[in-house]
Amino acid sequence: MTTAAVSTFQAPKGTYDLLPPDSALYLAVREAIAAPARRAGYGYVETPGFENVELFSRGVGESTDIVTKEMFTLTTKGGTQLALRPEGTASVLRAALQANLHKTGNLPVKLWYSGSYYRYERPQAGRYRHFSQVGAEAIGAEDPLLDAELIILAVDAYRSLGLRDFRLLLNSLGDGECRPAYRAALQDFLRGLDLDEDTRRRIEINPLRVLDDKRESVQRQLTGVPLIADHLCEGCKAYHEQVRELLTEAGVAFENDPKLVRGLDYYTRTTFEFVHDGLGSQSAVGGGGRYDGLSEMIGGPSLPSVGWALGVDRTVLALRAEGVELDLPAATSVYAVPLGEEARRTLFTVVTELRRAGVAADMAFGGKGMKNAMKSANRSGARFALVAGERDLAEGVVQLKDLESGEQGPVVLGEIVATVKERLV
């Protein structure tokens, strides 16, 4: 008995490979998330998979788990400290600043992106060390309409996929005027709690991080904690109320969550998160908010901005939790089955013509017999099979078989493309 040879290499722990047919679902989800943003004037941006470590430690925040525990870092031969990107916003803002997009006079700069991100997590369903996100950022304008626009675009993306059981959590984190007083009140409260040394250090760096601590031992002690909603200045209150009114007018339901701070330090004012109750502990499927001070944190000018990132992996899990099946386009519409060498060459030409005419077409390669070739045709999901042997070619026809109904009949070689296109409508 022999065993098939298997590669000694496997994907690194906490990562995954996307292969057909699942990969088609992921592509469809990415497209659905990006489509509303593109219609709203957001242009595509692509950034490197790694950046200077300082970009994330300054922007994302030195007190965050992302920076302190989860970044993959490396040192170049020249001694430069780099990190695989753990999130997208800091990279996109860096790219916009580097290209001077903010100096064109056409603000806000609207950008969307898609890619893989990396965090050293304890692997579990919905939480991987390599994950996929689609994001959108509006850079350079402070306007509640932009905050509402981005939230509505995300809601529309989820709805277009058929998701229904997601919830939008909403909060305001204040700004430079009201945040300091709240920070001081929060620190006074937290210092009186029974917390471990790491959490106590976090209180001094960014006490809002403690509100985001998911441990029951911490959450249990937060009863009566001061809330930012009670400390907002008049400007932040008015801004937040406008965002809520705009969402309500657009038919977007939301829940006020006074403890929502998200896992990044750069957020100001509007903060939001999408959760899906069908995913267990990893319930967040996406989120974002306003980050008016991030540009200054990474050495740029004042550029008030807002954005979001939606998890492709988590969205796929949410679709499966709701039993939603997307209507994915067939990878192959026509599958050619040649019988003999002359038919191989003839049908290869036909397949090429079909593809050039916009029809997804494939064929049996490697000299498969009729039985195996037809099995491949059925497995391909094709609607039609094109079958040809010497007798068919001598008569100038091929047999067109409907793989759904089983009906089969001859079609003149020169009319195949037109016939197939007509029947696929």
Binding residues for L-histidine, by number, are 87-89, 119, 133, 137, 262, 266-267
Tokens of 310: 């939606």
**CB-CB neighbours of 185 under 10 Å:** 17
What residues are designated binding site? 87-89, 119, 133, 137, 262, 266-267
Helix axes 144-160, 234-249, angle to 10 degrees: 30
Strands 43-44, 130-139: pairing kind: unpaired
139, β-bridge pairs: 109, 305
CB 417 within 8 A of CB 353: yes
Give the span between the Cα atoms of 349 and 413, in whole angstroms: 11
The type of residue at 142 is: E
CB under 8 A, 24+ apart: contacts of 372-381: 373/337, 373/338, 374/337, 376/335, 377/335, 377/337, 377/403, 378/403, 380/331, 380/332, 380/335, 381/330, 381/331, 381/332
Could you give the CA distance from residue 140 to residue 292 in angstroms, rounded to a whole number? 9
CB count within 10 Å of CB 337 equals: 24
Residue type, 395: E
